[in-house]
Every structure is written in structure tokens, then in C-alpha cells.
């Protein structure tokens, strides 16, 4: 894939993920607010409206402006690294950062305009936090980034098990 095309497709991916996140949050606010939980897959997942003024699992509740500043700074640095730095040289790294950035932007929009993040996906088969599409993007992008970093460490520091030249 040509580098220029990779940059364009990654930008499109970021826009699409942010749009899906914001559209689903709009529907959650419109149809779930004040209406209780709505089963999606009985016993597995339900949709319920929730407002999160903290970060993951509602930790550090009430730090709106701190989280806005931190998210904005990290997002801008990731975008600069992706488009100007070494991040553009590897597709796996580039796309992993792009997915993280899209999730960060989705939740950043909520924090700026509402003062909280709209969550609506509630897994009922396990005791877990209510989350949204942006949270999924950040989580999956982070898992992909960690896998890339582990793969890169083992690839560059690989020691042969059997020394053929001995």
C-alpha cells in the first residue's frame, strides 16, 4: 500500500469510527434516557443509558477539564507521530494508533459538549462497566498496539534456539 493511500484510508477510518460512535450515542440518549434497560441479546448484553464523568470504570470522577486536556494532548501527539514520525512506516502500528485516536476523539467530543461520556452497552453475563463504541476502539487499538510492540520486541531481539554456525 502506498504511504499516501495509507494516510487517507486511516483518516477515513478515524472519521467512520467517530461517526459510528456519535450516532450510536445519539440513539442511546434519544431512546434509552429515562426508559431503563433494553435487552439486546438476552442474558448477554443490554442497552442502558449511562453518563460517565470519570474515565474507565468511572474512576477519577469529575476531572472533566483535566481529561479533556490530557486526551487532546495525547491525541494530537499520536496524530503527529502517525503522520510525521516513524508511526507511518508500519501499517500495523499506524492503524493501531488510528483506532485508539478515533476512540479518544469520540469520547473527547462527549466531554467537551456534554461534560460526560455517554455509555450504553452493558454486558449482562458478567459484572462489568457500561461502555460505548469509542471505548471499544480504544481497547481494541491498545490490544493491537501491545501485540505489535511485543511482536516487534521479539522480532528485533530474536535469539536463535539452535546455532547453525556452531
CA atoms lying within 13 Å on the CB side of residue 105? 22
Q: How many CA atoms lie within 13 A of 44 on its CB side?
A: 3
User: Which residues does the annotation mark as catalytic?
Assistant: 119, 135
Please list the residues that pair with 122 across neighbouring strands.
Answer: 46
The DSSP H or E segment spanning 51 is strand 45-52
Closest residue by Cα to residue 117 from 125, 128, 129, 106: 106
* Residues 32, 30: Cα–Cα separation, whole Å: 6
Q: Beta strand 45-52 with 38-41: parallel, antiparallel or unpaired?
A: antiparallel
Amino acid at each position: 500500500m502506498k504511504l499516501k493511500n495509507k494516510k487517507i484510508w486511516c483518516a477515513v477510518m478515524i472519521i467512520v469510527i467517530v461517526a459510528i460512535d456519535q450516532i450510536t450515542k445519539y440513539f442511546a440518549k434519544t431512546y434509552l434516557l429515562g426508559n431503563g434497560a433494553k435487552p439486546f441479546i438476552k442474558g448477554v448484553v443490554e442497552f442502558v443509558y449511562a453518563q460517565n464523568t470519570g474515565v474507565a470504570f468511572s474512576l477519577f470522577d469529575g476531572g472533566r477539564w483535566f481529561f479533556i486536556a490530557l486526551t487532546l494532548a495525547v491525541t494530537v501527539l499520536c496524530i503527529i507521530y502517525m503522520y510525521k514520525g516513524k508511526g507511518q512506516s508500519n501499517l500495523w502500528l499506524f492503524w493501531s494508533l488510528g483506532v485508539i485516536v478515533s476512540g479518544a476523539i469520540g469520547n473527547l467530543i462527549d466531554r467537551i459538549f456534554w461534560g460526560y461520556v455517554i455509555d450504553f452497552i452493558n454486558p449482562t453475563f458478567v459484572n462489568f462497566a457500561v461502555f460505548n463504541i469509542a471505548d471499544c476502539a480504544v481497547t481494541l487499538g491498545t490490544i493491537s498496539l501491545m501485540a505489535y510492540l511485543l511482536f516487534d520486541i521479539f522480532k528485533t531481539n530474536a535469539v536463535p534456539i539452535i546455532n547453525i554456525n556452531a
